Structures are given as C-alpha cells and as structure tokens.
Amino acid sequence: MNVEERVPARWDAPPTITAQTISAAVGFDVIGTYPVSVTRRTTIPDGKLRVVAAHPLYDVATFEVWYKPWFGADRPLGKGIGAKPAGVCFVVYEY
C-alpha cells in the first residue's frame, strides 16, 4: 500500500487573528499544502476482507497573540493552533 498526497495545513484561531499572523507564530504556512507519503505492506489471509482507511497525522503548534501598546498594560488578543501534516495513520478493519 502506498499513499502519496498533498494535505492542507489546518488552523484555528479567533477571527481577529489573520492566517498570516498565525503562520508567523507557528513557523509554517497554515494555508499551504504539504506532501505526505508512506508505504506499508500487509498480507491478507485467505477468506478475509480488509478495509484500510488512511488519515493524516499532524504536528500541532499552539500560540498566543498579545497586544503590546506603547503605553499601558499588555493584553492578550487570542490564542489558537496551527497543524502541519506530518504523516499518515492507517486504520485497518478486518472481516
């Protein structure tokens, strides 16, 4: 079994924080796509049926964005996550 795909990154943050800001905070483009590939071998016994599902795995980075004015106290603007595709996980169902 061989899987080679381009998988989009994922992100979640308050609407006031832009994708560009998130990308700078986590160190990768959160609106980009990234290649993932994996090869696995398996033997299916006679009389059996296997269903295989492939799911992307992600490296997840969390972040906080703060507003730091010239005067006054710093205050948080929000926090969120950025997730970059890092691999593939196979789930095998055997009948």
Query: Would you give the distance in Å from CA 58 to the centre of its chain?
Result: 4
Q: Give pairs for 66-73: CB < 8 Å, separation 24+.
A: none
pLDDT of residue 39: 85
Torsion angle of C-alpha atoms 10, 15, 20, 23, degrees rounded to 10: -40
CA distance 12 to 78: 11
Question: Strand, helix or coil at 20?
Answer: helix
pLDDT of residue 28: 96
pLDDT in tens, 6-62: 999 999 999 989 999 999 989 999 999 999 988 878 788 888 898 888 899 999 999
What count of other Cβ atoms lies within 10 Å of the Cβ of residue 32?
Answer: 13
pLDDT at 85 over 90: yes
CA distance 24 to 59: 16
Domain ranges of the chain: 2-94
pTM for the whole structure: 0.78
pLDDT of residue 52: 85
